[in-house]
Amino acid sequence: MILVIFTAVVLTAPLWAKLIGAGYPDLLQKFAIFGLFAIGYNILFGLTGYLSFGHAAFLGIGSYTTVWSFKLLSMNVVPAVIFAVLLSGLFAVAIGYLSLRRTGIYFSILTLAFAQMMYNMAYSVLTPITNGETGLRVLVEDPRVIDRALGIQLQGVPLGDFFGITMTGYSAFYFCAVVLILGFWLSLKIFRSPFGMKLVAIKSNQTRMEYTGFNTRPYLLAAFVISGMYAGLAGSMMAVTDPLAGAERMQWTASGEVVLMTILGGVGTLLGPILGAATIKYFENIFSAFNEQVLNQAFDFLPDVLTHIMVTITSPFVGEGWHLTLGVLFMIIIIFIPGGLVEGINRIGKMLRGSKPEAEEKSGEEAVQSVEPETVAKGDAS
C-alpha cells in the first residue's frame, strides 16, 4: 500500500513540484538521488544505530566507477550502474569489516578516517584515476569499446543513455525515480524482514543480543555493505545525470550532509530520510536563490520601517547564508523533536485528532526511544 502511494507520488513529482516552485528536472533529480542516499544510510544508522561519518566515500566511488564505465565501455547507463554498485559494495566490505570491530565513537572515527584517506588520495596520488581537482569527465575521444563495436557514434556533448533514451532533463529524472522506487521497495522489505528486526534488536541492546548466543557482526556487516551500495548507487546516479565526478563529493562534509538529512527527516523511519533529503535540497535551491530584493517584495505588505527590520533580520538566513538556516533548523530538530519531521508530523496529527500527544510528556531522551517501537510496529503491521 505504502509502496503504491510512494510510487504515485514520485512519478507525479513533476506535476506537484511545480506548485512549490521545484518543478524543474535538475532539482527533482537531486531529490531522488539524495533520497536514495539517505534511504541507504538509514539502513545502517536508523536500524543499527551505528553512526558512520564516511559514507561519502562510497558516493565518490560510485561516481568515479560510472564515469570510467562511460569512458571505457559504453555510454549505456546499465553496465555503469551495475559496476558502480558492485565496486562500492566491495569497498564497503573492506571498510566495514575493519570499522565494525569497534563501536560508538570509535566506529565513527574509523569510518571518518577511511573516508578522509580516500578523499585525500583522490586529490593527490590517485590523480591518474580521478583527474584530481579538475574532476573526471567523459571525452569524445575516449575508447568506449562496446559502443565502438556496435558502431554507435557519440554526438555532441557526452551524455549517458538508456538503450537510446538520452539521460537528460525529465528522462534522467524518471530513470532516477524508478531507481528510487526500487531502492525504497528494497528498504521496505528490509525493514519488515527478520533481518531488519535483528538490526533493530542490535540497536536497542547489542550486548544482550550477544549474550543470547547471537553473532551480531555478520548482520552489522551486511547492513553496512547494503548502505554502502546504496551510496554507490546514488553516486552513480549523480554521474548518470551529469557525467562528471569530482573528489569534493567524498569529503567528510558530504557524509555529514547525509547524516543531517536522515536526522532531519526521522531516523529509523521509512519515509523520514527521503523527506529530509528533499527538504534540505529544496531549501538549498530555494533559499540560496533569495536575495534582499526578493525579501523586500515578500515583506512589502508591512509598513516601511517594519519591512526594513524584517529584511535586516532575515537576510543573513537566505542566499549565501542558507547553511545558517540549516544549522538552526537542525539544532531545533535535535533538541525538541529527536524523531525528526516524521515525528513532528505524527505529533501534529495526534493533536489534530484531539488526543494528547504522548511524546510531549516524555523527556527528550525517552522520545528518541519512543520512535523505535513505532518503527517496529509498522514492520509488524505488514
Partner 1 sequence: MDAFLLQILNGLDKGGAYALIALGLTLVFGTLGVVNFAHGALFMLGAFVAVSVQKLLTISHKVKDESITFFDAYKETPYLEVWWGDVGTAIIEYSVPISVLIAIPIMLLIGLAMERGLVQHFYKREHADQILVTFGLAIVVQEIIKANFGANPIPVSAPEIVAGTAAVGAAFGMPEVVYPWWRMIYLFFSLSIIGGVFAFLHMTTFGMVVRAGMHDRETVGLLGINIERRFIVVFGLATVVAGLAGVMYTPILPPDYHMGMDFLVLSFVVVVVGGMGSLPGAVAAGFLLGILQSFASMNEVKAILPGIDQIIIYLVAVVILLVRPRGLMGKD
Q: Is 365 in the site for partner 1 (CB under 8 A)?
A: yes
Choose among 59, 150, 336: nearest CA to 344. Answer: 336
- DSSP track, 243-284: -EE-GGGGSHHHHHHHHHHHHHH-TT-SSHHHHHHHHHHHHH
Binding span for partner 1 by CB under 8 A among 67-75, 119-127, 157-165, 223-231: 119-127
User: Judged by CB under 8 A, does residue 373 bind partner 1?
Assistant: no
Q: Which residues contact 318 (CB under 8 A, 6 or more apart)?
A: 287, 288, 290, 291, 294, 295, 325
Strands (E), 84-233: 136-137, 161-162, 165-166
Identify the residue among 21, 143, 327, 373 touching partner 1 (CB under 8 A).
327
Minimum separation from the CB atom of position 359 to partner 1 (A): 15
User: Which is closer to partner 1, CB of 13 or CB of 337?
Assistant: 337
Tell me how far, at minimum, the Cβ of 115 lies from partner 1, in Å.
Answer: 9
Q: Are 105 and 50 in contact (CB under 8 A)?
A: no
Is the Cβ–Cβ distance between 230 and 41 less than 8 Å? yes
CB of 47 to partner 1, least distance (A): 14
Q: Does 108 bind partner 1 (CB under 8 A)?
A: yes
Residue 17 vs 333, nearer CB to partner 1: 333
228 contacts: CB under 8 Å, gap ≥ 6: 40, 55, 58, 88, 89, 91, 92, 95, 96
Q: Does 19 help bind partner 1 (rule: CB under 8 A)?
A: no
| Residue among 120 and 307 whose Cβ is closer to partner 1 | 120
The mark string for 239-268 relative to partner 1 (x by CB under 8 A, - otherwise) is: -------------xx--x--x---x-----
Q: Hey, what's the cell of 267? A: 531516523
How many CA atoms are closer than 13 Å to the CA of 322, on its beta-carbon side? 16
Torsion sign across C-alpha atoms 49, 53, 56, 57: negative
Query: Which of residues 73, 326, 341, 342 is near partner 1 by CB under 8 A?
Result: 326
Instruction: Give CA separation, 177 vs 11, 224, 231, 374, in Å.
Output: 7, 24, 16, 27
Binding partner 1 by CB under 8 A: which of 120, 171, 288, 370? 120
For residues 329-358, which are near partner 1 according to CB under 8 A? 330-331, 334-335, 338
Cβ atoms < 10 Å from Cβ of 270: 23
The residue within the footprint of partner 1, chosen from 323, 358, 362, 382 (CB under 8 A), is 323
- Interface with partner 1 by CB under 8 A: which range of 29-37, 206-214, 304-312, 326-334? 326-334
Backbone angles phi, psi at 160, to 5 degrees: -70, 150
Residue 203 CB, shortest distance to partner 1, in Å, is: 11
Question: Which residues from 27-66 bind partner 1, rule CB under 8 A?
Answer: 49, 51
Instruction: Give the DSSP H or E segment for 43.
Output: helix 25-48
* In the complex, least distance from residue 375 CB atom to partner 1, rounded to whole angstroms: 16
Residue 328 Cβ, how far from partner 1 at the closest point, in Å?
6
**CA 39 to CA 284: how far, in whole Å?**
19
316 is an interface residue for partner 1 by CB under 8 A:
yes
CB of residue 113 to partner 1, shortest distance in Å? 4
- Nearest-10 Cα torsion for 368, 227, 174, 68: 150
Interface residues with partner 1 (CB under 8 A) are 49, 51, 98, 101-102, 104-106, 108-110, 112-114, 116-117, 120-121, 123-126, 252-253, 256, 259, 263, 316, 320-321, 323-324, 326-328, 330-331, 334-335, 338, 364-365, 368
